[in-house]
Amino acid sequence: MWGFRGARFIRYRLPLREGQVAAAKWGRGTSGNLGGMTSPVRVRFAPSPTGTLHLGSARSALNNWLFARHHGANGTYVLRIEDTDQERSTPENVEQALRVFRWLGMDWDEGPGVDGPFAPYFQSQRQDTYGAALGKLMDRSAEPVDRYAYPCFCTKEQLAEDRAAADAAKRPFIYTGRCRNLDEEERANRVAAGDAHVIRFRIPDAGTTVVHDLVLGDTSFENALIGDFVIARADGSPLYNFANVVDDAAMEITHVIRGNDHLSNTPKQILLYEALGAAVPAFAHLPMVLGPDGAKLSKRRHHTSTVEQLAESGYSPEAVRNALALIGWSKDDVTNVMSTAELIEHFDITRVKKSAAAIDYDKLSWLNGEHLRAMSVADWAAGYEAWRDEWLPADHELHAAAFALTGVEAALLVQEKCVTWGEVPAYLGFLLEPFAMSDEAWARLQKTGDVGVRVLEHVVPMLETLDDFGMESLEAALRGACDALELKPGKLFGPVRFAVTGQTIAPGLWESMHELGRTRTIERLRAGRDRLAATLASA
């Protein structure tokens, strides 16, 4: 009689209760509080600082952030840097990664720069924690007896042979367990003698481990198929699955929200949590993010596959958040455009769908346009100026155009026309000197023919004597000219616009003329009239 939604809800709450038991174990958290709504919720995003943030990763980060913020004061968003790869984890790369996060506007409660009760938040500084956890797992006097860590002296050659044998027999390769049952004395002797060894984690031979997933539901894995896996390298450094669990347990993470590519790691991690005596967090595996062609999103194949590229193109962070949130999740059947506040209010991890989703750049652009148009002039101007200061190089051909106006002035001209801030400078190109009419504009001016000449001849003296060169005055004058010449607005504004802006894409006419000023406007009208008349005469 349970509806599916009801069943999901039950699953959603169970892990929270487990979390509280564990919190009590650590002497932290809220004991005895069984109200789901007030349980603290702690999530994290743990990127490796490679210098770029992939859209798929950004989506994971966003879902964690929205989940935490949705829980208000009870939600904590932790940023932990997985910088164990010393080569790529340079301070510059870390700083670059943090810059991207700040741009995306996902503030973290604990992590680099702010620290917190579980510092440090860099894996490279947490060796002691991993060492202690390893010691705990290797202590054979501890429970449970079928889950522990042991040194494995198998050489790479031996393992390669095992693997080859498994392949030949068409059997899945599972670690044979050769070093699992060495006697304690031999182990101790070989370790003391300095024999190279990794540390493996012993898992039960039988039984299944089931992952209760907020997105996928229950998924079970046979323990026998997992095999004792390596948790520490020969040099003692921890492997991902181990470091991740140790950190998440230590930081009291209650919900692990991550990409679906981690699903098969999860049973291993659950076993690890149990062996460590730590609370198993709730899991939510997000559907993979695909490129527009349905292939896995990659920098190579897809032009804007990183957050940096979107920032550079002039997208607004809020629109990107909106678009990212909509990958695999929806508020309902009709809502698309949402402010971040709305995202936070409505975000529900249990509504995330299971299947992979291709990112739709067309829709992203549309969303961006919607957000840009909905902004206040002040916000739009600030965003535009931030973009142009950060991303438009001084030697760019449109640099001068972009800086010809303030953000507020530009907003008045083109806010409702642009899909991204990156498009703004091109609209402003008409303001630059020396003036040069584009080929397309000239072609269209030519098409106006004799009418065009008449219009320009009429308009020049009119504007020379116009008292006020303000926008309203200009509009009134130009509309008046339509009556005087008995022309439809379209016929009259066309030649004027092409002559004045020299472009086929430009802001509104009176706005443009006003911004250009009387002298330059009239100069251009005259030049256009002369050129057009000369061309017609010689034809």
Partner RNA sequence: GCCCCGUUCGUCUAGUGGCCUAGGACGCUGGCCUUUCACGCCGGUAGCACGGGUUCGAAUCCCGUACGGGGUACCA
CB of 495 to RNA, least distance (A): 11
Whichever of 24 and 451 has its CB closer to RNA, that residue is 451
* Cβ atoms within 10 Å of 89's Cβ, excluding its own: 21
Backbone dihedral angles phi then psi of residue 336, each to the nearest 5 degrees: -120, -55
CB 114 → RNA: shortest distance, Å? 22
CB of 313 to RNA, least distance (A): 16
Q: Which residue has the tokens 């921890």?
A: 238
- Name the phi and psi angles at 472, rounded to 5: -65, -40
Mapping DSSP to helix (H, G, I), strand (E, B) and coil, where does residue 405 land? coil
Q: How far is the CB of 73 from RNA (least distance, A)?
A: 28
Nearest CB to RNA, comparing residues 20 and 420: 420
Active site residue 299: yes
Q: Which helix (H) or strand (E) holds 340?
A: helix 340-346
- Amino acid, res. 249: A
Q: How far is the CB of 535 from RNA (least distance, A)?
A: 20
In the chain, what is the straight-line distance between the N-terminal and C-terminal CA atoms, in Å?
Answer: 85
List the one residue out of 281, 305, 278, 277 whose CA is nearest residue 293. Answer: 305
Q: In angstroms, rounded to a whole number, what is the distance separating the alpha carbons of residues 448 and 218?
A: 70
335 vs 406, which CB is nearer to RNA?
335
Q: Which is nearer to RNA, 286 or 381 (CB)?
A: 286
C-beta of 525: minimal distance to RNA in Å?
Answer: 15
Nearest to 518 by CA among 468, 484, 481: 468
Do 438 and 446 touch, CB atoms closer than 8 A?
A: no
Nearest to 253 by CA among 26, 98, 34: 26
Considering beta carbons, is residue 369 or 452 the nearer one to RNA?
369
Indicate left, alpha or beta for 107 from its phi (over 0: left) and psi (-120 to 50: alpha): beta
74 or 504, CB closer to RNA?
504
Give me the catalytic one of 25, 299, 354, 363.
299
Shortest approach of RNA to residue 407 CB, angstroms? 18
| Burial class of residue 116 in the structure, from the number of CB atoms within 10 Å of its CB (0-12 exposed, 13-18 middle, 19+ buried) | middle
β partners of residue 200: 150, 230
Output 77 or 430, the one with its CB closest to RNA.
430
Q: Give me the count of residues in the chain.
A: 539
d(CA 342, CA 327): 16
Nearest C-alpha neighbor of 491 from the set 510, 474, 478, 500: 478
- Indicate the burial class of 348 (C-beta count within 10 angstroms; 0-12, 13-18, 19 or more): middle
DSSP state of 122: B
Kindly give the pairing relationship between strand 357-358 and strand 289-290: parallel
Q: DSSP assignment of 424-492, as one string?
A: HHHHHGGG-SS----HHHHHHHHHTHHHHHHHHHHHHHHHHT-S--SHHHHHHHHHHHHHHHT--HHHH
Least distance between RNA and beta carbon 281 (Å): 17
In terms of CB distance, is 22 or 307 closer to RNA?
307
Indicate which residues carry an active-site annotation. 299
